[in-house]
Amino acid sequence: MKILKFFVIYFLLVVFALLYLQPVLYMVSLSFKSFADVIDPTTRWIPNYPTLGNIEYAVGQMAIMPMFLAARSTWDNLMTSTLFVSLLTTIPPALVQIVTCAVAGYAFGRCTFPFKRTMLVMLVLTYVVPPQTIFIPLAWLNSQMGFLNSPMAFVAPALFGHGLNGGLFVIIYMQFFRKIPKELEEAALIDGANPFSVFAKIIFPLAKPAMVVVFLFSLVWHWNETFLTGIFYTRIATLSTQITRVNIPPQEQLQTMLPTVMASALLFVAPVLVVYVFAQRFFTESIERTGVVE
Amino acid sequence: MKIETRNKLVGLAFVGLWFVGFLLFWAFPLIFSLYMSFNDVTIQTDRLLFEFAGLEQYQRALFMDAEIPNVFLLFTASSLIVVPVIVVFALIMAILLNQKFPGRGLARAVFFLPVVLTSGNLINELTNHEQGSLNFLQSATVTNLVTALPDTWALAVGNVLNSFLMVLWYSGVQMLLLIAGMQSINPSVYEAAKIDGANDWASLWLITLPGIAPFIFIAVIYTVVDQFTAPFNPIIDVIIRHFLSPQTGYGYASAIAWLYFGIILLILGFVTLIFRKPLGLK
């Protein structure tokens, strides 16, 4: 009976895994195929004449390297690199969200304040409103603050516990803090500590599993963002908007276009994949420990 | 100072920053875009000019624009199919990945991969090159079946079938949610059921599924929001096009965006209605 159950589980998992991974493997395989491999129908997965040409071409087309001009400041020169812009759009907001969303999550999970129910509805609302409904005023706001073409467009809302999927992160923290025993805070408060240092020194450090989840999700979602970056960034660009640019190949390479597109996709996902390989244990385990949403 | 007042002040201090952010980044933009949707907006070099237009923009979008009702209907119909497919698939995967078997860690690592790879442009590229569709779905029987349906639904079903694999790629987070839900059920309940003679199949239906009903609800909500903000969504294209167009402009784009938000709210309300009973809501 048990063997039968294992058999069914493995069978289903393997079938689904193959379906899942097929596009990814296809992307990797095609990225290294040379022209000879592309036109050869017998070469399916493993190229006979592997090449790095596609990758090199994609690196150039995606403007990964900064373009140095003496007339510009070092910062402006660096901002011509899509990789640099992507990193700036990803890491600072994620780091800020770890802290600010925790503060808001603590308020919703553990504190009492007037109109708490109404504010909870607002919290859910921030998650449900599509960015497409509010992007015009947001763009105007950013232009007034001088945040267009600057990662500040993403850091500023994060500073207030909002930002990309900020509502979701607040909810994750809220659920986590609700589970911590009340006695912990009470003991410290009786000993005369003020509520803010109790949060900073006792409660917040306990939330490591939630922090890991929030940080990783935030990194990934900022990295993948295309809609808001497309609106806020007019002179600079992130990697995520560059994949499609490779679609316009030079004439003589028209036939080998597909491998270069796939190479650009590979370059784009590679950093995320590396992070995932190292962090997936936290990713999968800490979800269980935080219970994410209840 | 009374302890209650003190506690409330502390609470306000913690939530204050978030609330200011809410006013700045949500309330203000929402009201502003609602205001724009009732106006004709002209862009001057340094400011915007508003001319009150009442419901004109909405009327135009719903009754005069040939494109918008169609795009809305089609997308709503496909998401009504896609959302249950994603959630049911995530549920099946979550049940499988929650069993105890050797190699579970590796299996989870593979199936959570979509969580990090779900990027609109990437998925577009992969689907454009037909890696996202299943070949058997293009066979004659399925096509016949699809053409037997009314137009909008046929198109919607066709869209879903064509991107079946990509549907699976949008179920990563839901799997995580559902597994987390299953972990929250006390194992002693299962033991008690086993002693009373229940088999695994019965426990699944009588303990696991009712126990994770709230998680299924959240997974459905997440899927609806995710689908409606996914970059391949044709409605977003329409909004952006009108936003950039000098003839229609911000007012019209805002009206479409609000209609779009209205549809999302309607669907979420509908979902809440369905889940009212299992969740024990009034």
For the cut 50, the answer to whether the pLDDT of residue A293 exceeds it is no
Partner residue opposite B15 with nearest CB, options A104, A133, A287: A104
- pLDDT confidence bin for B134, thresholds 50/70/90: very low
Of how many residues is chain B composed?
282
Q: What's the mean per-residue pLDDT of chain B?
A: 81
Using CA of residue A19, residue A20, residue A23, residue A26, what is the dihedral sign?
negative
**Cβ contact B113–A276 (<8 Å):** yes
Q: How far is the alpha carbon of B145 from chain A, nearest alpha carbon, in Å?
A: 24
Partner residue opposite B8 with nearest CB, options A112, A220, A283: A112
Partner residue opposite A103 with nearest CB, options B14, B101, B264: B14
CATH number of the A52-290 domain: 1.10.3720.10
- pLDDT confidence bin for A253, thresholds 50/70/90: low
DSSP reduced 3-state for A43: coil
**Cβ contact A100–B261 (<8 Å):** no
Q: How far is the alpha carbon of B164 from chain A, nearest alpha carbon, in Å?
A: 10
DSSP reduced 3-state for A196: helix
Share of chain A above pLDDT 70, in %: 91
**CA nearest neighbour of A66 among A76, A54, A56:** A76
**Cβ contact A162–B122 (<8 Å):** no
The pLDDT of A88-97, averaged and rounded, is: 96
Quick: pLDDT tens for B63-106: 888 888 888 888 888 888 889 989 999 999 999 988 888 888 88
Q: If you count residue pairs, one on A and one on B, with CB atoms under 8 Å apart, how many are there?
A: 235
> Chain B partners of A142 at a C-beta cutoff of 8 Å?
none
Q: Quote ipTM for the complex.
A: 0.87
Q: How far is the alpha carbon of B236 from chain A, nearest alpha carbon, in Å?
A: 7
**Cβ contact A130–B225 (<8 Å):** yes
For the cut 70, the answer to whether the pLDDT of residue B140 exceeds it is no
Record the pTM.
Answer: 0.86
Question: What is the C-alpha separation between A278 and A285, in angstroms, rounded?
Answer: 13
In chain A, the residue whose alpha carbon lies closest to the alpha carbon of B32 is A137
Q: Where are the domains of chain A?
A: 52-290
The pLDDT of B185-194, averaged and rounded, is: 86
Quick: pLDDT tens for B31-69: 999 999 998 888 777 777 788 888 888 988 888 888 888
Count the alpha carbons within 13 Å of A221 in the hemisphere toward its beta carbon.
21
Contacts 24+ apart (CB under 8 A), B41-47: B41/B249, B41/B250, B41/B251, B41/B254, B42/B249, B43/B249, B43/B250
The pLDDT of A235-252, averaged and rounded, is: 70
In chain A, the residue whose alpha carbon lies closest to the alpha carbon of B221 is A128
